[in-house]
Structure 1
């Protein structure tokens, strides 16, 4: 079965985006502007395009983090720094990560130019994080511009994924449990990365077992069908939401054009596979 072009596009752009959250400079960049620790930096940096939003908005849009993890970071982060400072800091981390990987400015500029043309045609209806990122003025630095654009596509797809989960009757924690079974991500790693206690995680597994989605420590046939349908709808949402303007050949061409940058990022080893994001190694697709 061939990979949907929207999924190929995501794997490529997500690798260029996610590197920032795994970069060694990330936590220090947050602390340099007054934030405290990794998670406060994460929530403030990622939410910054939406402004100084309360934790409830982040819980709703990010969809899968335990509320207590979010509330340890927000709204306190906005008393320590500003969304604008977060936006600038995350771009600085992106440049440092790309430079360390050896992503050249000329290649980044070419990629940014091509991605920018696609952003103009995205449907942002019902996509708050995608819209907030698309509204950001592109930086003149090609490395920073490339990362900002990949952020827009990542959040655009993520918003569509949340819509697919809702339509499938799957909550954020349920999605994570299903993902660990579907993609082989270690349960403990996924649970800890999203702030759920072992007791809470086990309760979700019990709920999914009662619904017939999990059986004998694995996805049931019904569970596999539901996960496949959600992934299919996520791809379709991204495609119909504006990636279809490229066409399949256009996606293939763009993926190949960005491959050297993706390869440079992956070969740093900073992105683990498997990972909590669910990102496969784009070089293996």
Structure 2
């Protein structure tokens, strides 16, 4: 379900329509990070760079500090622009016929049920998005549900990383080591070469990596445990929805998922594994 929903959420960070809306608010759109931090942190209110770095986890605090002041204070204006961006993006990528279809309305209703069953205690990004009012249009309901569910899963993933003893940069180094994406992709999170090298040294010292920087059997087991725990912590919404309705939602999401992946907007290599099976 995550693989089906994540691309539908992530279009916001890459679509030209979203960059148009961000530019209208005064954000620099020469790169994607100013609008990324604006859109994603807006539901949190005004936590400041330290709060955003904590909630986002894998980004260097120095990088967050460069962009979060530009992201404003999570104002109603930013949240309204975010929905306009999604509306325009979905109409462009999914097509008007799909946006207005009964199948998409059915998918939105099912996804909303799952999202409303997602517990938010100890999950700041899920809680902040779940506290927002639901939009009326089904395609916007689908996006908001996808966003709550992905942030619910993401918050749980951070808990799993903490239990595994992986700090933010170690989490990236170890994820790159198992082949999730090339190291330069993960380096986009803003950590310096010295910070990356120090994390590699720490992981080597504790047996997660070998002397050549390759992941060990112990390291693979650790990462597999993180992913298993992440799945377990993300399971409640789908248990609440039930296997039959979850399968129906998966069926309904097939077309929109193909449109999102086929749009060419999402990067082929990314830190999330979008599009990988």
Q: When the two structures are superposed, what TM-score results if normalisation uses the length of structure 2?
A: 0.91
Contact 2:114 2:238 in 1 (8 A): yes
- The Cα shift of 1:76 comes to 4.3
Within the candidate set 149, 170, 182, 1:153 is matched to 149
- The aligned residue for residue 31 of structure 1 is 23
1:208-247 equivalences under 5 Å are: 208-215=203-210, 216-240=212-236, 242-247=237-242
- The aligned residue for residue 83 of structure 2 is 91
- The Cα shift of 1:82 comes to 4.8
- The aligned residue for residue 118 of structure 1 is 114
SS of residue in 2 equivalent to 1:183: coil
SS of residue in 1 equivalent to 2:154: helix
- The Cα shift of 1:111 comes to 1.5
**2:191 equivalent to 1:196:** yes
- The aligned residue for residue 253 of structure 2 is 258
4+ long deviations beyond 4 Å: none
**2:132 equivalent to 1:136:** yes
CA RMSD of aligned residues (A): 1.7
Higher RCO, Cα 8 Å, sep 6+: 1
The farther-off stretch of 53-62 and 86-95 is 86-95
Q: When the two structures are superposed, what TM-score results if normalisation uses the length of structure 1?
A: 0.89
- The aligned residue for residue 50 of structure 2 is 56
**2:259 equivalent to 1:268:** no
Runs of at least 5 residues in structure 1 that lack an aligned partner in the other structure: 1-8
CA distance, structure 1, for counterparts of residue 191 and residue 55 of structure 2: 17
- The Cα shift of 1:271 comes to 1.6
Aligned length: 270
Describe the shift of the 1:280–1:265 C-alpha distance in structure 2 as closer, same or farther (beyond 3 A).
Answer: closer
- The Cα shift of 1:257 comes to 1.3
- The Cα shift of 1:230 comes to 0.3
